[in-house]
Amino acid sequence: TELEDLRKQLEDGEKMRTYLKDYELQNNRLQDEVTELKNQLQENTQRMAELDSDENIDRRIITNLLVTFLELPHGDTKRFEVLQLMSNILNFSTQEQERVGLRRSTVLSTTEDINPIDLDDESLTNQWISFLLKESNTRRHQSTPPES
């Protein structure tokens, strides 16, 4: 019986050794996977950091501006202001500003602006904030269900 006990212990030891080898292989695979995921995360983090936040524009903002622009009547001065705001946000070149009517063609005239409105950065910022607040309030009222 002592011999049987030793054989049983030997079998149990072999099973344990096999289990430990499998566990070690799985652990190594998981460590490799973690290392790969960490590398991918680091690469993606670096890519995100390299993106200039000035170049990222929220699509909803531009959509709201475009819809507002198209809804305004042609003679409304706010139409020009919205177009000028979009031009500033999207960093239009002089040629692009000429194409959309914000500037006269330099071939025809040396006067650059069609409209003599000079918006300094502060008033442009205030206009932008006012516009966003108005839009968010409008959307909030549209999406709020009536209270019973």
pLDDT in tens, 59-79: 888 888 888 888 888 888 888
Per the structure block, which two tokens stand in for 56? 């990222």
* ∠ Cα 51 57 62 (to 5°): 165
| Partner residues linked to 113 by β-bridges | 103
Length of the chain: 148
Cα–Cα distance between 117 and 148 in angstroms, integer? 48
CA distances from 101 to 20, 89, 113 (A): 75, 16, 9
**pTM higher than 0.75:** no
Tell me, what's the pLDDT at 114?
Answer: 46
What DSSP designation does 113 have? B
| Partner residues linked to 103 by β-bridges | 113
Segment 56-59 long-range contacts (CB within 8 Å, at least 24 positions apart) = 57/89, 57/90
Per the structure block, which two tokens stand in for 133? 């607040």
Q: Which residues contact 97 (CB under 8 A, 6 or more apart)?
A: 87, 103
Tell me, what's the pLDDT at 111?
Answer: 47
Task: List, for the chain, all residue ranges whose pLDDT scores fall below the cut of 50.
Answer: 109-114, 116, 119
Which amino acid belongs to residue 87?
Answer: S
Per the structure block, which two tokens stand in for 14? 């072999």
The domain locations on the chain are 2-51, 57-143
Tell me, what's the pLDDT at 127?
Answer: 76
